[in-house]
Amino acid sequence: MSAIYKKSMLSIGKFVPEKFQPLWNHPAGPQTIFFWAPAFKWGLVIAGLGDLQRPANQLSVRQSGALAATGVIWTRYSLAITPKNWSLFSVNLFVAITSIYQVTRALKMTMISKAAMGIAVGIAGIFVGYCFYFDQKRRSDPEFKKKLRERRKSKKQAQKDSSRIPHLNDHEGVQRFFLQEVQLGEEKLAYGDIEGGVVHLANAVAICGQPVQLLQVLQKTLPPHVFHLLLQRLPAVGQKVASQIAMAEEDVE
């Protein structure tokens, strides 16, 4: 099912106008779940707007309170991740606003006094403010940034090691590497990582025994601008392959 979806997105991408390609290929764009999940969540906003006409005594404080809490949390989260997901931010902001309004309407209809309601709202505000303060303090901590950089560095190193080209005499290793690079290239393109996808596909072309035939297939399946980037990347990857092969031969000697 995943392969069908990826191929469908690649096929549709060929018809997307050039000026909309950055949006189409964005890491949180229409080709990813990070776009469609917030899009479907707008149903909660529409339902909340419809409930504005419902009598306050029929509202559920627990349900509206839960929606308000999740709306606030996800609103903050959408701006803390990389890249920022503005679609996720906007839908959860509306969910939080409508739910908070519904909670205040419901509380006004209960026997809770204005003082008690004010205290409850104040406590909730303090809690939310503390969460934002704690998150900001955590992210501004030099140790946090240092650990984050180390984690990213380790991840990049792991990716680099996984892309190390095997010795050409190791036919099984070469075949595994080829299939791995093709799969990684398709996955990254499907998620909007054009540069990463091109790098992996270029590795596959460089190590392939029949590069011309593979390029012909890729020309038919890839969007024109992606295929053009692939052709631009091939010389550098070819040099990289040659240098790694030379180093491997020196190690053997």
5 vs 114 pLDDT, higher one: 5
Helix axes 61-80, 114-140, angle to 10 degrees: 20
- Helix/strand/coil percentages in the chain, nearest 5: 85, 0, 15
pLDDT of 214 > 80? The answer is: yes
Q: Which two tokens stand for residue 71?
A: 């709306």
pLDDT of 95 > 80? The answer is: yes
What pLDDT score does 167 carry?
Answer: 64
pLDDT of 99 > 80? The answer is: yes
Question: Helix count (H) and strand count (E) of the chain?
Answer: 11, 0
- CB contact at 8 A, 226 and 194: yes
- Report pLDDT digits (tens) over 104-126: 888 777 655 566 666 666 776 77
User: What domains sit in the chain, N to C, each tagged with a CATH number?
Assistant: 32-142 (no CATH), 150-248 (1.20.960.10)
Q: What does the chain come to in residues?
A: 253
| Residue 42 burial (10 A CB sphere; 0-12, 13-18, 19+) | middle
- Report pLDDT digits (tens) over 141-192: 777 667 767 776 766 655 555 556 666 666 777 788 888 888 888 888 877 7
Q: What proportion of the chain, given as a percentage, has pLDDT over 90?
A: 2
pTM score over 0.75:
no
